[in-house]
C-alpha cells in the first residue's frame, strides 16, 4: 500500500476479527479498536448490526465456520452465554469458543484475546467450569493468548436504580458488606483488551483486571446512590440463608421437573454473586484481596451513577444481576 500523495509505502493497519461486538463489553472493545486505528471485522448473526463502521461477516458461532476466510493479525472474543445456565454455558462459553479457536488456527491467526471473568478463579457454577475448560484449550493451542478476567461491570451494579427512583429501599444481603469488587467500565475494559495486542508483557498470561479506585461493597453503592438522590440511606436486608433455601428447593425440583433445573442454575448464580467478592483470590491470605487486584482506566462507578441520575437514562440490567 502506498500513500496517495507521496507515493511512499505505507504499512496497512493491523486487522482484528471481533466476536461478540454487539454486547456492551464487545461494544467497548470495538470503540477502542476504532480509536486505535485498527481494521475491524465483526462476526455477527444475521440481522445484527455492528456498533459502528466495520467489515461484517455473518456466522452462527455454534457451528464450524469454514466460509470465513481472510488474513487477520488477532482475534478478540467477547462471546459469553447470556443466562449462564449449564446448557447455554457449555454451548457458548465452551463449544462456540472452540469453533472460534479452530477458525483462528485454520486462518493462522497468531494472537487470540479472550474475555473471560474473574469468578472462574473460584469455580462453583456451570458457566465458570465451561469458561475454564476453554481457557485450558486456548492455553494449550500454541497461539499467543491473553485471557482477560474483568471484575464487575457497571451495568451489573446498576440494576437497583429504578427501585430507588421509585422510593424503594436498596436490597442487600446480610449487612451489605459481605462482598466487594473493583468495577470496570466497558470503555476502560475495551482499552485494556486492545492494549493486549501490542504489549508483550501481557502475552500468554491470565490477566485479572478491575477499574480505578478502592474496592466497593453493596453498602457503598447504596450510600453513593442515596447521596445523589439527596435522601437518607434506606436498606432492606435479605438473609443469605433464605437464598440458600430457595436454591436447595429448586435443585430438588429440578430432579423431578427438568424445567426447574434452569431456574436452579440461575438461583445458584445469584447466591454466588451474593456471597463471593469479584476480586483476586490471594492464596496466602485465604481470601479475596483488593490490593492484589490490578486496576486500569479512569472511569469510576459513582461517576456512572451520577450520569444516569442526571440524564434520567434507563438502566440495562446485567445478565447476571442479582437484583
| Mode of pairing for the β-strands spanning 280-282 and 287-289 | antiparallel
Which pLDDT value is given to residue 7?
53
In the chain, the domains with their CATH numbers are 15-153+186-209 (3.40.50.720)
Confidence check: pLDDT of 257 > 60: yes
Confidence check: pLDDT of 183 > 70: yes
Give the distance, in angstroms, between the CA of residue 208 and the centroid of all CA atoms in the same chain. 12
Query: What grid cell was written down for 25?
Result: 463489553
According to DSSP, the residues that pair with 205 across neighbouring strands are 146
pLDDT tens column, 193-215: 999 999 999 999 999 999 999 99
Cβ–Cβ < 8 Å for 157, 275: no
Residue listed under C-alpha cell 481494521: 39
Residue listed under C-alpha cell 481470601: 287
| Positive or negative torsion for Cα 181, 186, 191, 192 | positive
Candidates 68, 67, 82; CA nearest to 20 is 82
pLDDT tens column, 66-84: 999 999 999 999 999 988 8
Residues 227-255, mean pLDDT to the nearest whole number: 92
Confidence check: pLDDT of 318 > 90: no
Which pLDDT value is given to residue 263?
87
Residue listed under C-alpha cell 440481522: 47
Confidence check: pLDDT of 248 > 80: yes
Q: What average pLDDT does the chain have?
A: 92
Residues 16-20, mean pLDDT to the nearest whole number: 98
Confidence check: pLDDT of 285 > 80: no
Q: Give 202: exposed, middle or buried? Use CB within 10 Å, 0-12, 13-18, 19+.
A: buried
How many other CB atoms are found less than 10 A from the CB of residue 310? 9
Q: Give 262: exposed, middle or buried? Use CB within 10 Å, 0-12, 13-18, 19+.
A: middle
Q: Give 312: exposed, middle or buried? Use CB within 10 Å, 0-12, 13-18, 19+.
A: exposed
Cβ–Cβ < 8 Å for 106, 72: no
Q: How far is Cα 89 from Cα 214, in angstroms, rounded to an integer? A: 31
Cβ–Cβ < 8 Å for 268, 247: yes
Residue 4: pLDDT band (50, 70, 90) is very low
Which pLDDT value is given to residue 12?
63
Confidence check: pLDDT of 320 > 90: no
Which pLDDT value is given to residue 261?
83
Confidence check: pLDDT of 50 > 70: yes
What's the whole-model pTM score? 0.91
SS (H, E, C) 49-117: CCCCCCEEEECCCCCCCCCCCCCCCEEEECCCCCCCCHHHHHHHHHHHHHHHHHHHHHCCCCEEEEECC
Confidence check: pLDDT of 270 > 50: yes
Residue listed under C-alpha cell 450510600: 223
Query: What grid cell was written down for 148?
Result: 482477560
Cβ–Cβ < 8 Å for 54, 15: no
Q: Distance from first CA to last CA of the chain, Å, rounded?
A: 53
pLDDT tens column, 107-162: 999 999 999 999 999 999 999 999 999 999 999 999 999 999 999 999 999 999 99
Amino acid at each position: 500500500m502506498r500513500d496517495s500523495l507521496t507515493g511512499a509505502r505505507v504499512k496497512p493497519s493491523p486487522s482484528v476479527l471481533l466476536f461478540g461486538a454487539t454486547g456492551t463489553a464487545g461494544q467497548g472493545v470495538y470503540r477502542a479498536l476504532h480509536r486505535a486505528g485498527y481494521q475491524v471485522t465483526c462476526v455477527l448473526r444475521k440481522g445484527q448490526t455492528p456498533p459502528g463502521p466495520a467489515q461484517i461477516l455473518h456466522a452462527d458461532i455454534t457451528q464450524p465456520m469454514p466460509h470465513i476466510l481472510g488474513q487477520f493479525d488477532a482475534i478478540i472474543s467477547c462471546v459469553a452465554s447470556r443466562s449462564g445456565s449449564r446448557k447455554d454455558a457449555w454451548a457458548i462459553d465452551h463449544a462456540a469458543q472452540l469453533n472460534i479457536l479452530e477458525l483462528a488456527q485454520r486462518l493462522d491467526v497468531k494472537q487470540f484475546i479472550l474475555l473471560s471473568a474473574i469468578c472462574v478463579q473460584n469455580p462453583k457454577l456451570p458457566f465458570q467450569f465451561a469458561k475454564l475448560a476453554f481457557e485450558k484449550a486456548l492455553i494449550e493451542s500454541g497461539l499467543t493468548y491473553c485471557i482477560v478476567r474483568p471484575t464487575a461491570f457497571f451495568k451489573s451494579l446498576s440494576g437497583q436504580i429504578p427501585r430507588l427512583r421509585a422510593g424503594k429501599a436498596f436490597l442487600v444481603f446480610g449487612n451489605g458488606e459481605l462482598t466487594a469488587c473493583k468495577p470496570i467500565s466497558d470503555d476502560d475494559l475495551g482499552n485494556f483488551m486492545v492494549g493486549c495486542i501490542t504489549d508483550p508483557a501481557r502475552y500468554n498470561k491470565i490477566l485479572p483486571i478491575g477499574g480505578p479506585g478502592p474496592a466497593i461493597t453493596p453498602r457503598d453503592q447504596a450510600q453513593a446512590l442515596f447521596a445523589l438522590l439527596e435522601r437518607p440511606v434506606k436498606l432492606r436486608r435479605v438473609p443469605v440463608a433464605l437464598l440458600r433455601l430457595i436454591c436447595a428447593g429448586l435443585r430438588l425440583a429440578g430432579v423431578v421437573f427438568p424445567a426447574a433445573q434452569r431456574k436452579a442454575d440461575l438461583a445458584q448464580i445469584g447466591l454466588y454473586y451474593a456471597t463471593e467478592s469479584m476480586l483476586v483470590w490471594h492464596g496466602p491470605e485465604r481470601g479475596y484481596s483488593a490490593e492484589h487486584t490490578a486496576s486500569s482506566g479512569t472511569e469510576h462507578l459513582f461517576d456512572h451513577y451520577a450520569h444516569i441520575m442526571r440524564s434520567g437514562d434507563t438502566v440495562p440490567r446485567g445478565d447476571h444481576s442479582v437484583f
